[in-house]
Structure 1
Amino acid sequence: MNYSKMKSVLALLTISGALLISCNKTEQTEAVTDAPVETVATDGAADAAAKQDTINITLNGNDKMQYDLSEIDVYEGQTVVLTLNHTGTMPVASMGHNFVLLKNGTDLEKFEAEAAKAQKEGYIPADTSEIIAHTKLLGGGESDTITFQAPAKGTYDYMCSFPGHYSMMKGKFNVK
């Protein structure tokens, strides 16, 4: 008998044996599958399970005036622990970065113009009524961690308030 026929016969014997065994079996067994199982929550349990009391976020800014995240997702009321890392090497005076989370409806250009006047305050304007949270201004290799409560559901803007940076260093803070 050639190898190809022998493979076919072995395959048939294996299938036949499996059928005989399964036909003679009287006990019930649980089916095991690699297929994903979809669960449907009817009372918001999936959201509650996904929501944690605290979320840790790491945001990196570099010497090319870029954040590594363009969107951040959190849940309303969550405690947000945000760490901003300046991954570049340039000093704060020439390439300082911060994270500023703004209230809805804030005019970014107007805010940036006011922030540019506040060099001594790390480019955070004296009137902070439009700010939800912010880090200090960082130079290359520095980090700052802040903790704050996520605001009400909605989409908020965040930006770097160092003069001229907000056009590239900005993103959306999505609160679910």
Structure 2
Amino acid sequence: MKIWLRMMAFTVLAALAMALVACGGGSSGGSSGGGQSSGPVTLEIGSKGEELAFDKTELRVAAGQTVTLRFKNNSAVQQHNWILVKGGDAEAAAIANAGLSAGPAANYLPADKSNILAESPLANGNETVEVTFTAPAAGTYIYICTVPGHYPLMQGKLIVTN
């Protein structure tokens, strides 16, 4: 009887594991947006209406993967952008602060872009913009909006796996 129960439990766990693997690997949309594949991936993210927030606060890709990020500004009146930061909170804050004086003509970005890994164009209300980049080395990276006043609330994490 014990062997039969163990075999049944093993079969159920194996079926569950296969179902989870089958459901997890899409190449666009979703909160994880891709993942372990080395082929190109398209991630979709947007703003949350008139809130100062992204609709996804975590995205996942594989190191070295070609990533096209499609950003939809779901606000009717506000501008937004999507900036991938090289570094942590201090670098993100510095980029956002320097963007204040840079203005919209410079996409609210500093002239020194050494701590920026990828940047979308500035998106007006109800506009979709794209940026294509190569995923950096494995790690966790911050993405932000640098439109004045948005950075403290509009941020998320790009998790890059091997």
What is the TM-score normalised by the length of structure 2? 0.75
Question: Which amino acid letter does the alignment assign opposite residue 85 of structure 2?
Answer: L
What residue in structure 2 maps to residue 67 of structure 1? 54
Post-superposition offset of 1:109: 2.1
Secondary structure class of the residue paired with 1:107: helix
Residue 114 in 1 paired to residue 98 in 2? yes
2:34 equivalent to 1:51: no
- Determine helix, strand or coil for the equivalent of 2:113: coil
SS at 2:99 equivalent: helix
Question: Over aligned residue pairs, what C-alpha RMSD do you find?
Answer: 2.2
Residue 88 of structure 1: CA displacement?
1.5
Query: What amino acid maps onto 2:109 in structure 1?
Result: I
Matching of residues 161-176 of structure 1 within 5 Å: 161-176=146-161
Equivalence for 2:128: 143
Alpha-carbon displacement from aligned partner over 1:59-83 (angstroms, at most 9, x marks no partner): 1013211111101111000010100
Q: Residue 164 and residue 54 in structure 1: after superposition, are their counterparts in 2 closer, same or farther (change >3 A)?
A: same
Q: Distance in 2 between the 1:127 and 1:80 partners?
A: 23
1:108 Cα offset (Å): 2.3
TM-score, structure 1 as length reference: 0.69
C-alpha displacement at 1:107, in angstroms?
2.4
Structure 2 unmatched ranges of 5 or more: 1-10, 19-34
Pick which of 97-106 and 132-141 moved more.
97-106
Residues 5-59 of structure 1: CA deviation (Å, up to 9, x unaligned): xxxxxxxxxxxxxxxxxxxxxxxxxxxxx831657xxxxxxxxx94141111011
- Aligned positions of 1:2-13 closer than 5 A: none
User: Based on CA coordinates, which of the two structures has the bigger radius of gyration?
Assistant: 1
Shift of the 74–118 alpha-carbon distance from structure 1 to 2, 3 Å rule, reads same
Q: 1:158 aligns with which of 140, 143, 148?
A: 143
**Aligned mates of 2:142, 2:82 — CA distance in 1:** 10
Question: Which segments of structure 1 move beyond 3 Å, counting only runs of 4 or more?
Answer: none
Q: Provide the rounded CA distance (Å) in 2 between the counterparts of 1:51 and 1:100.
A: 23
